[in-house]
Structure 1
Amino acid sequence: MLDLAPGYLSDYRQNGFVAGLPVFSKDETASIREQIEVLEADHAEGAGGHDLAQFFRVNGHVVIPLLAELARTPLVLDAVEGILGPDILAWSVELFIKEPGSTKTVSWHQDITYWGMGETDDEVTAWIALSDVSVEAGCMRFIPGSHKGSIARHEDTFDAENLLSRGQAIAGVDETKAVAGPLRPGEMSLHHGRCFHASGVNNGSDRRIGLAIRYVTPAVRDHAPGRDWAMPVRGEVPAGGWDCISGPRALFHPTDLALYDRILAGQAATLSEGAEQSVGMYVKGEAK
């Protein structure tokens, strides 16, 4: 069981986030980073008609064994189980990478706005630092307690400098209330899908690499229309509105690439609903 800081659950429930939880050693973190950067070097062209950037940002666990393996990390799941209970699915695994000097940002937003899951509490994002994610490097900032409200109105900006799929942004956020969540390599934060959060530019000298794993419970689809895909990682395998996947056979295996295309097409309609232009992250070959 992860030796978490006392009160991490109460802090999460009160504020909608908690940061600084250690999950990987220095050597483990360096190894994970190295494997990601080898992927970048060896598979820069992507696979199956998809850019590597698309796999990194959308459902990479379907075709990249490393990302599926990381979603099953026992220490991470111990922390998530404290929030969600014993039955856990990995809905999405993503990499957020900002190069040193990059002007890329993430605007103020709530994660679940376009997920098609309603305003559920049966989800949490584990965000793991694979490099030094300091304030200077553009760490996440949070508005404490904002998860206690409803989903706020978001404006789609489609800003090329915004890492979000639609450049979605909440207007009028009082940034004087923001709390920074810097992370050292191997540390994790957990945040609720309704918690307002954002991140700035990377003014550091190193790449800012973060791994975001979106965990949900089987109950998420009890009150949501349609079906969705997820990878069971702990507890009982769900039925109902879930199509369960077991993880990739091998890196970019043809069968898994075909599944990836089906999932991308199935999720695109939900995640692009109401958008006035194409959401490139969910279009084959058009990832941001």
Structure 2
Amino acid sequence: MKALTAAQVEAYRHDGFLFPFPALDEGERLACLAGLERYERWLGTPVPRAENKWRTQPHALLPWYADLVRHPRILDVVEDLIGPDILVWTGTFFIKEAQSPTFAAWHQDSTYFGLEPYEQVTAWVALTDASREAGCMEVLSAHGVLRQMYHSALRLENSINRAGQTITEPLHERGAVTMQLTAGSFSLHHTLCVHRSAPNRAAHRRIGCGINYIPAHVRPTGPVRMAAMLVRGRDRWGHFDLYDPPTVEFDTARHADVFERYSENYRAQVERHERQFAPEKA
């Protein structure tokens, strides 16, 4: 173990989440915020108002985000959960403006990813305080039984998630844990972890960076040949086309390729999920 105790690993296996952990010192955090400011100046608009593609796969576009996904304090914790050969599958900005109605309904990250086995873990890094008031994540313990649940892509208004997806089978919400994070810290949740977040009622932007890590042996189930970034260890399986971290900001050609593959797979997985669960809905 590099960062976790056996008890912490067991807690993660049982609940499907674990928090909080320190990631960034103040200088690193401010550097990330400065990078985000440059990015939004380049976009000409805040990330939440930009096209969806500009909030997804930023580690293929922004060197500072690529540095974040390779931060050793994050990777040491992730390695204790999924092993030493680690890929970044996707990254996403999760930004809620101050006093905004943006929210996320109960959902699981795994639903439209199309990855097997279910071993992906998300590190959610807070660049500003993610308090209850600011609309931090809430999670439900899996109680040792992680399973895929049925979702509908409802295109919910003000949803921070791309498809506005939500779990549409019965769900027991009692015992939800509020994962409050101070700026510079991060949480972890399993791809099958049920979670949501409320609107931001605080006076500051809630800025989070979601980083989806997978062990290199995880494979895509769909027809799309996808891309990933190797951030630790080796890739002995070759399930993804690997790409190097960007060295200059706004490498749009690389980002476009990574994003288009991801989007094509996402659309296919929405359809697959509907087909898979259709008999249960009838």
TM-score range for the pair, normalised by the shorter chain length = 0.7 to 0.9
Q: Residue 266 of structure 1: CA displacement?
A: 2.2
Residue 106 of structure 2 aligns with which residue?
108
Residue 32 (1) aligns with residue 37 (2): no
- Contact 1:64–1:250 at 8 Å: present in 2 too? yes
Paired residue type of 1:184 = T
**TM-score, normalised relative to structure 1:** 0.85
2:156 equivalent among 151, 156, 159: 159
Paired residue type of 1:133 = A
Residue 263 (1) aligns with residue 258 (2): yes
- Contact 1:146–1:195 at 8 Å: present in 2 too? no
Residue 68 of structure 1 aligns with which residue?
66
Paired residue type of 2:181 = L
Paired residue type of 1:16 = G
Q: For 1:79 and 1:263, how far apart are their aligned partners in 2?
A: 26
- Contact 2:131–2:181 at 8 Å: present in 1 too? yes
Bigger shift: 185-194 or 26-35? 26-35
- Contact 1:147–1:194 at 8 Å: present in 2 too? no
Residue 250 (1) aligns with residue 248 (2): yes
Bigger shift: 85-94 or 22-31? 22-31
The C-alpha deviation readout for 1:264-285, integer Å capped at 9, x for no partner, is 3322232113658xxxxxxxxx
Paired residue type of 2:268 = E
Length, aligned pairs only: 268
Q: For 1:25 and 1:44, how far apart are their aligned partners in 2?
A: 29
Q: For 1:71 and 1:237, how far apart are their aligned partners in 2?
A: 17
Unaligned runs of 5+ in 1: 277-288
- Contact 1:122–1:219 at 8 Å: present in 2 too? no
SS in 2 for 1:176: coil
**TM-score, normalised relative to structure 2:** 0.87
- Contact 2:124–2:186 at 8 Å: present in 1 too? yes
Q: Residue 2 of structure 1: CA displacement?
A: 6.6
SS in 2 for 1:169: strand
Q: Residue 122 of structure 1: CA displacement?
A: 2.4
The alignment's C-alpha RMSD in Å is: 2.4
Residue 286 of structure 1 aligns with which residue?
none
SS in 1 for 2:151: coil
SS in 2 for 1:241: coil
Q: Residue 42 of structure 1: CA displacement?
A: 3.9
Residue 95 of structure 2 aligns with which residue?
97
The structure-2 alpha-carbon separation of the partners of 1:265 and 1:43, relative to structure 1 and needing over 3 Å to count, comes to closer
Q: For 1:272 and 1:147, how far apart are their aligned partners in 2?
A: 30
Unaligned runs of 5+ in 2: 272-282
Q: For 2:2 and 2:34, how far apart are their aligned partners in 1?
A: 25
Q: Residue 39 of structure 1: CA displacement?
A: 2.1
- Contact 1:147–1:196 at 8 Å: present in 2 too? no
Q: Residue 121 of structure 1: CA displacement?
A: 3.2
The structure-2 alpha-carbon separation of the partners of 1:249 and 1:274, relative to structure 1 and needing over 3 Å to count, comes to closer
Q: For 2:78 and 2:146, how far apart are their aligned partners in 1?
A: 22
Q: For 2:51 and 2:228, how far apart are their aligned partners in 1?
A: 20
Q: Residue 228 of structure 1: CA displacement?
A: 1.6
SS in 1 for 2:218: helix
Q: Residue 45 of structure 1: CA displacement?
A: 6.0
- Contact 1:102–1:201 at 8 Å: present in 2 too? yes
SS in 2 for 1:188: strand
The structure-2 alpha-carbon separation of the partners of 1:237 and 1:5, relative to structure 1 and needing over 3 Å to count, comes to closer
SS in 2 for 1:212: strand
Paired residue type of 1:95 = F
Q: By percentage of residues, which structure has more strand?
A: 2
Runs of 4+, deviation exceeding 6 Å = none
